[in-house]
Amino acid sequence: MSSKIKFIILIIFFALASILLSGKIDYRNSDYANMDMLKYITMGEEAPGLNLDVPQPFVYRIFAPWLAGILPMDLHTSFYILSSLSLILSALLLFLLLREYAIEARTAFILTFAFIFNRYFFQFTAWDFYQLTDSLSLMIILASILLSLKGKYFKVSLLLFIGVLTKEIVLVVIPFLFAELYYKKSNAKGYLQVGAAVLPSIILFILLRVLIEPQSGNDLMTKLLTEGGANIFTVNSLSKKLLVAFTPFFFLPVFFIKDFFAFIRKNISLSILFLSVFAASLFGGDYERLMTPAVAAYFVFIGTLLQKIFARMKNSKEVKILYYAVAVSSFLSSFYHLWGIIKLPTAFHSVISTIFFGILIGFLFVQAERRFTKKKILS
Q: What is the pLDDT of residue 277?
A: 96
- List all residues 6 or more positions away from 288 whose beta carbon is below 8 Å from its beta carbon: 120, 240, 241, 244, 245
**How far from the centroid of its chain's Cα atoms is residue 29's Cα?**
27
How many CA atoms does the CB half-sphere of 360 hold within 13 Å?
Answer: 20
The answer to whether 58 and 36 are in contact (CB under 8 A) is yes
Q: Which of 55, 87, 28 has the alpha carbon at shortest distance from 289? A: 87
User: What confidence score (pLDDT) does residue 377 get?
Assistant: 41
Q: Quick check: bond before 248 cis, omega within 30?
A: yes
Over residues 186-237, the pLDDT tens digits come to 888 889 999 999 999 999 999 999 999 887 767 776 766 666 666 777 888 8
Measure CA 280 to chain center: 13
CB-based contacts of 83, cutoff 8 Å, min separation 6: 125, 126, 129, 130, 131, 132, 135, 136
Cα–Cα distance for residue pair 269/257, rounded to 1 Å: 19
For the stretch 310-369, pLDDT in tens is 877 766 777 888 889 999 999 999 999 988 888 999 999 999 999 999 999 999 999 887
**CA-closest candidate to residue 313, choices 270, 363, 362, 375:** 375
Looking at residue 343, the DSSP 8-state letter turns out to be: B
pLDDT along the chain (379 residues), means of 10: 88 97 86 82 93 90 96 94 98 97 94 97 95 97 97 97 97 96 87 96 96 78 66 82 94 94 95 95 83 96 91 75 92 91 92 95 87 54
